[in-house]
């Protein structure tokens, strides 16, 4: 394999520790490319949280703090506001999983969106708790087998999954909310475009911006990377539409 170039905002001595074929690697790379392109490296404070997303600070070469599980948007609020009180505008974003953002941290996440907190949240939705070995999460789809829904998620027993990007879009304080995917080149290009738009919303002071990245989890889904991407294309994107739900810059 030949490496042509690495984004400036990726640490030189690091290598991703994600499972082979996991979309996290692509997501982090996109974020790093955008930080480079928007010249944000020395103005950025990133918030990592619990789960697979926590190791962000090992790869991304920006100031970074790890948040307790689910509280990333609250920590980001403190970071952003404290700098503002000191007369400094910093670029602040969270990088979270769906369990983090939409289950244990739903209160902190939605209240940050409702307040119109001028931060960006990126949420990797892989429809299960990845780091702990694939348990039922808030986004696990109906019928999906996990280690804690061995007979598949059903409405009577487990209840419904959450459509996070749609919920964020309903908050009056959110400026931008989109769901993207990374299963092919076309979608990766679109994902980059939407993350960039979310970042721009913050830089312009429009309020809370959010990108949900519909991702694979080949290890816990027990599928090859290729088949896991097919599953996103053919099944999951029908349930979780790839779409911009809110963009006040278009209004």
Partner 1 sequence: MKEKTLLKGNIAIAKAALNCGCSCYFGYPITPQTEIGEYLSFEMQKNNLAYVCAESEIGAINMALGAASVGAKVMTSSSSCAVSLMQETLSYACSDELPIVLVNVMRAGPGQGYIFPSQGDYNQTTIGGGNGDYHIISLSPSSVQECVDMTYKAFYLAQKYKNPTILLVDGLLGQTAEPCILFDNPYKEIDNSSWALTGAKNRPSRKIHSLEPSQNKLNKHILNLKNKYDLIEKNETDYEKYMCDDAEIILTAFGSLARAVKAVVNSFREKGLKAGLFRPKTLYPFPYDALKKIASQAKAIIDIEMNLGQMLRDVKLGVLSDSKVYFIGKPTGNWLKKEEIIDSVENILKENYANI
Stretch touching partner 1 by CB under 8 A, among 77-85, 198-206, 212-220, 232-240: 77-85
- Residue choice 25, 68, 116, 173 for contact with partner 1 (CB under 8 A): 68
- Residue choice 16, 36, 83, 239 for contact with partner 1 (CB under 8 A): 83
- The total of other beta-carbon atoms located within 10 Å of residue 60's CB is 23
- Residue choice 52, 79, 113, 182 for contact with partner 1 (CB under 8 A): 79
Binding status of residue 38 toward partner 1 by CB under 8 A: no
Which CB, 11 or 158, lies closer to partner 1? Answer: 11
Torsion angle (degrees, nearest 10) of CA 17, 232, 179, 150: -80
Which DSSP string do the residues of 154-181 spell out, in sequence order? -HHHH-PPP-HHHHHHHSTTEEEEEEEE
Binding status of residue 111 toward partner 1 by CB under 8 A: yes
Stretch touching partner 1 by CB under 8 A, among 60-68, 95-103, 187-195, 203-211: 60-68
H-helix segments, the chain: 24-37, 56-59, 72-85, 98-99, 106-115, 155-158, 164-170, 185-203, 218-221, 225-231, 237-239
What is d(CA 73, CA 46) in angstroms, rounded to the nearest whole number? 11
User: In the complex, what is the shortest distance from the CB of residue 33 to partner 1, in angstroms, rounded to a whole number?
Assistant: 17
Nearest to 34 by CA among 8, 16, 1: 8
Stretch touching partner 1 by CB under 8 A, among 47-55, 145-153, 189-197, 198-206: 47-55
What is d(CA 131, CA 53) in angstroms, rounded to the nearest whole number? 9
- The total of other beta-carbon atoms located within 10 Å of residue 143's CB is 11
Question: In the chain, what is the straight-line distance between the N-terminal and C-terminal CA atoms, in Å?
Answer: 45
Which CB, 37 or 233, lies closer to partner 1? Answer: 37
Q: How many residues bind partner 1 (CB under 8 A)?
A: 40
Binding status of residue 39 toward partner 1 by CB under 8 A: no
Which CB, 111 or 158, lies closer to partner 1? Answer: 111
- Residue choice 1, 5, 13, 85 for contact with partner 1 (CB under 8 A): 85
Binding status of residue 122 toward partner 1 by CB under 8 A: no
Chain residues binding partner 1 by CB under 8 A are 11, 41-45, 47-48, 54, 57-58, 60-68, 71, 74-86, 88, 90, 107-108, 111, 115
């Amino acid at each position: 394999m030949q490496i042509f170039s690495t984004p400036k905002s990726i640490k030189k001595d690091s290598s991703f520790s994600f499972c082979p074929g996991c979309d996290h690697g692509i997501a982090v790379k996109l974020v790093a490319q955008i930080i480079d392109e928007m010249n944000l490296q020395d103005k950025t404070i990133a918030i990592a949280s619990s789960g697979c997303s926590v190791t962000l600070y090992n790869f991304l070469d920006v100031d970074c703090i790890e948040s307790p599980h689910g509280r990333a948007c609250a920590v980001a609020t403190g970071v952003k506001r404290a700098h503002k009180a000191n007369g400094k505008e910093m670029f602040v974003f969270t990088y979270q999983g769906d369990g983090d953002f939409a289950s244990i941290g739903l209160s902190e996440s939605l209240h940050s969106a409702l307040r119109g907190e001028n931060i960006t949240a990126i949420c990797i939705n892989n429809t299960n708790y990845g780091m702990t070995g694939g348990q039922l999460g808030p986004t696990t789809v109906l019928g999906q087998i996990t280690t804690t829904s061995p007979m598949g998620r059903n409405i009577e027993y487990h209840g419904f999954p959450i459509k996070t990007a749609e919920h964020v879009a309903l908050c009056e304080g959110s400026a931008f909310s989109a769901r993207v995917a990374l299963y092919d080149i076309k979608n990766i290009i679109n994902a980059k475009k939407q993350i960039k738009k979310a970042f721009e919303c913050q830089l312009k002071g429009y309020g809370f911006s959010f990108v949900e990245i519909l991702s694979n989890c080949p290890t816990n889904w027990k599928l090859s990377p290729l088949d896991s991407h097919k599953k996103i294309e053919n099944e999951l994107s029908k349930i979780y539409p790839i779409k911009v739900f809110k963009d006040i810059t278009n209004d």
